[in-house]
Amino acid sequence: MQTTNVIHAHLTYIEENIKAIVTIEEIADMAGYSVSHYGRLFAQVTGLSVAAYIGKRRLDRALGEIIGGRRAIDVALDYGFDTYAGFYKAFVRMYGNSPKSYLKKEMKLMLTEKQLRDILTHWDIPQDLPILDVYIMDGTKIASNVWSIGEEYILKTDGREAMLQNLRVAGALAKQGFAAATPVLTKSGTEYLGLDGEKITVLTRGIKGSPLTKADRFGNGRRAFGYKYGESIARLHNALAAIESEIKLHDHNLYREVADWALPETKKQNIQFQMGLPDGFFDGYMQRFGAVYDALPKQLIHRDPNPGNILFDGGEVSGFIDFDLSRRTARLLDPCYCATGILVEWHGVDGLHEKWPDILEGILHGYDSVNPLTAEEKQSVFDIICSMQMICIAYFESQNELKALAKTNREMLQFIAAKQARIASIF
Strand pairing category for 193-194 and 199-205: antiparallel
The confidence score (pLDDT) of residue 330 equals 97
- Judge contact between 299 and 287, C-beta under 8 A: no
Residue 210, helix vs strand vs coil: strand
CA distance 154 to 207: 9
Q: What is the mean pLDDT of residues 205-222?
A: 72
Sign of the CA dihedral running 190, 196, 197, 200: negative
Domains of the chain by start residue, with CATH? 3-107 (1.10.10.60), 113-207 (3.30.200.20), 214-424 (3.90.1200.10)
What percentage of the chain carries pLDDT values higher than 70? 87
**DSSP string spanning 110-164?**
---HHHHHHHHTTSSS-TT--EEE-B-TTS-B--TTEEEETTTEEEEEEEHHHHH
The confidence score (pLDDT) of residue 142 equals 46
CA distance 185 to 13: 42
Interaxial angle between packed helices 222-243 and 352-370, expressed in degrees from 0 to 180 and rounded to the nearest 10: 40
Neighbours of 40 (CB within 10 A): 18
CA distance 170 to 344: 29
Helix (H), strand (E) at residue 106 = helix 99-107
CA distance 171 to 247: 14
Q: Is the pLDDT higher at 286 or at 396?
A: 286
The confidence score (pLDDT) of residue 207 equals 80
Q: Smallest Cα–Cα separation from 194: which of 158, 162, 148, 144?
A: 158
Tell me whether residue 301 is exposed, middle or buried, using C-beta atoms within 10 angstroms of its C-beta: 0 to 12, 13 to 18, 19 or more: buried
Q: What is the mean pLDDT of residues 272-276?
A: 96
pLDDT confidence bin for 132, thresholds 50/70/90: confident
The confidence score (pLDDT) of residue 34 equals 78
The confidence score (pLDDT) of residue 1 equals 38
- Judge contact between 344 and 408, C-beta under 8 A: yes
Amino acid at 281: F
pLDDT in tens, 410-427: 999 999 999 999 999 999
**DSSP string spanning 263-329?**
HHHHHHHHHHTT----HHHHHHHHHHHHHHGGGS-EEE--S---GGGEEEETTEEEEE----TTEEE
Strand partners, 154: 148, 204
pLDDT in tens, 307-359: 878 888 888 898 887 777 878 999 999 999 999 988 887 766 666 678 899 99
pLDDT confidence bin for 89, thresholds 50/70/90: confident
Q: What is the mean pLDDT of residues 79-107?
A: 75
CA distance 213 to 2: 11
Q: Is the pLDDT higher at 353 or at 236?
A: 236
pLDDT in tens, 150-208: 878 889 888 888 788 888 888 999 999 888 888 999 999 999 988 666 788 999 988 87
Q: What is the mean pLDDT of the chain?
A: 84
Max avg pLDDT among 11-20, 52-61, 371-380 = 371-380
What percentage of the chain carries pLDDT values higher than 90? 39
CA distance 213 to 54: 27
Neighbours of 381 (CB within 10 A): 21
Q: Is the pLDDT higher at 58 or at 142?
A: 58
CA distance 103 to 298: 40
